[in-house]
Amino acid sequence: MKSFFKGCVAGGLMAAAIPGFAFAQATVKLGQIEAQTGPNAIYGYMSSQGVPIAVDEINKSGGFKVGDTTYKFELIALDTRGDPKEATIQLKKLLEQDKARFVFGPFLSNVFVTIFPYAQQFNGKFLMMGGGTRIHDFVGKPGNDFVIRTWNWDAGPKGFGEKMVDYLIKTAHPKKVAMLFQNDSGGKVLGDIYEPIFKARGIETMTEYFEPGTKDFSPVLAKIGEFHPDYLFPGYSDAALYDIVRQSVEGNYSKKFFLVRGSTGPGLKNKDGLEDYIVYVPKDFEEAEKKEPKVKHFIDAYKAFYKRDFPYDQAPLCSSSCYDHVYMLVAAMQKAGTVEDVGKIRAALLSMTYQGMWKISFDDHAEQVFDFDIVHLKKGGAKEVVHVEP
């Protein structure tokens, strides 16, 4: 009894002497590298907003149980500002100093391509869940088990881009489509994806690229105007799309738009001037809020957590490495029975179909497949929403 008492005192002193000792085993570190600021922050913004809400909900409910242990999340969310160099330093910190085994992001292709060689050295030691388009080229390849892509791929039988183009052809029968993308890794890959998709369907294309940060699109739109396209297909963030759509409508260059990146915002803002605006939207939150309890819960949680209005136009981007994915990770850890063996957790993650705000599963290449909406705006703002399950 005496030795038991001594042992308890020694243990208590040790726990008091080493900060966090008593809880070190019950914390799972979750890293995040997204552009929260900067010109392309629009992509990382919603992910960086959604993850803290899920982490907060889980921690406030007492955490999650794996085996006999109850864990809480410690979120380390870092702002890459869209700068690949910054992201590399931040990832190094997360993996080497913080010893995080789970990293959400990046959503930006140029960031992923830069951090990839460093990240690959940690293959098998951590999981990275990012939405970047260029991740498609790396995911599912030998030595790249660490990476999971949390976004629908555009091409292929389940590709949302193929389904978008099919919808465009079915509803509008275009002969010529002009593409206008940002001159960076993400923009270039869009050109590479969609030129063959349109060509395979007999549609003539023209592709132009604009400099990141461009505000006055008149010259490139004038050049495109000479091509007389039936539809203008611009990309890829709202920061550019608001200006492109407005200037195209005002300058009479094109009044019909087809988008696979971006939101309904630019179309609604110019609803009286445009003729057609067909946009891929992972979820039309305004409609979904009325019908889907999980969506309503998220919107309410967002308003309560941030004490500000819900960003309906940006919210669809929460389909990548965001709120649902934190819960998916918890479910995968519980299924795998471990918070450390990333191989087992990865296998559990890839085998599940998760029904959160989206119905999310993964294909054979560790690339996300989820349901989405096609929003079709017409002159005056009349809206038609078509739900697609790939």
Partner 1 sequence: MTQVVVGQILNGIILGSLYGIIALGVTMTFGITGIVNFALGQFMMIGAYATWYFTDLAMLPFPVAVVLAVVLAAVAGLIADQALFRFTRNNLVNGLLVSIGLISVMESGALLLFTTTPKNMDIVIAGSWSLGAITLPRMKVVAFLLLVAVIGLTWLGLSRAWLGRATRAYAQNPEAAMLMGVPTKLLQTGVVVYSCALAGFGGALYASLFSLEPSLGGLFILKGVEAAILAGVGNLLGALAGGVILGVTESVGSLYLPSAFRDAYGLVFLVAILLFRPAGLFGSQK
Instruction: Report the interface residues with partner 1, using CB under 8 A.
Output: 36-39, 41-42, 45, 183, 208-211, 213-216, 218-220, 222-223, 225-226, 238-239, 242-243, 246-247, 250-252, 265-266, 269, 273, 311, 313-314
Closest CA to 381 of 252, 305, 267: 267
Nearest distance from residue 45's CB to partner 1, in Å? 5
b/e sequence 100-129, b meaning 16+ C-beta within 10 Å? bbbbbbbbbbbbbbbbbeebeebeeebbbb
Task: Supply the DSSP symbol for 261.
Answer: S
Least separation in angstroms between residue 58's CB and partner 1 is: 24
Reduced to 3 states (helix: H, G, I; strand: E, B; else coil), residue 356 is coil
Joined together, the tokens standing for residue 299 give 């919107």
| Closer to partner 1 by Cβ: residue 231 or 242 | 242
Cβ proximity to partner 1: between 163 and 188 the closer is: 188
Closer by beta carbon to partner 1, 150 or else 182: 182
Residue 213 Cβ, how far from partner 1 at the closest point, in Å?
5
Q: How far is the CB of 214 from partner 1 (least distance, A)?
A: 7
Q: Quote the least distance from Cβ 223 to partner 1, whole Å.
A: 6
DSSP string, 136-162: GGTTTSTT-TTEEE-S--SSSTT-HHH
Could you tell me the smallest distance in angstroms from the CB atom of residue 324 to partner 1?
Answer: 21
Q: Order the strands of the 354-355 sheet from edge to edge.
A: 354-355, 359-362, 368-370
Considering the complex, state which of residue 23 and residue 306 has its C-beta at the smaller distance from partner 1. 306
Q: How far is the CB of 7 from partner 1 (least distance, A)?
A: 51
Question: For partner 1, which is the closer residue by CB, 242 or 280?
Answer: 242
The residue whose two tokens read 């009894």 is: 1
Return the closest-CA partner of residue 129 out of 325, 316, 347, 335.
325
Specify the residue, 165 or 279, whose C-beta has the smaller distance to partner 1: 279
- Cβ proximity to partner 1, 43 vs 372, nearer residue: 43
Find the shortest distance in angstroms from Cβ 80 to partner 1: 13
Q: What type of residue is 204?
A: E
CB of 266 to partner 1, least distance (A): 8
Q: How many CB atoms lie within 10 A of CB 142?
A: 6
Of 192, 346, 368, residue with least CA distance to 282: 368
Q: List, as one string, the DSSP characters of 278-292.
A: EEEES--HHHHHHH-
> CB-wise, 237 or 368, nearer to partner 1?
237
DSSP 223: H
* Dihedral-angle region of residue 122 (phi above 0 means left; psi in -120 to 50 means alpha; beta otherwise): alpha
Nearer Cβ to partner 1 (132/356): 132
- Residue 68, burial from CB neighbour count under 10 angstroms (0-12, 13-18, 19+): exposed
User: How many Å is the Cα radius of gyration of the chain?
Assistant: 23
CB within 8 Å of 118: residues ≥ 6 apart: 88, 91, 92
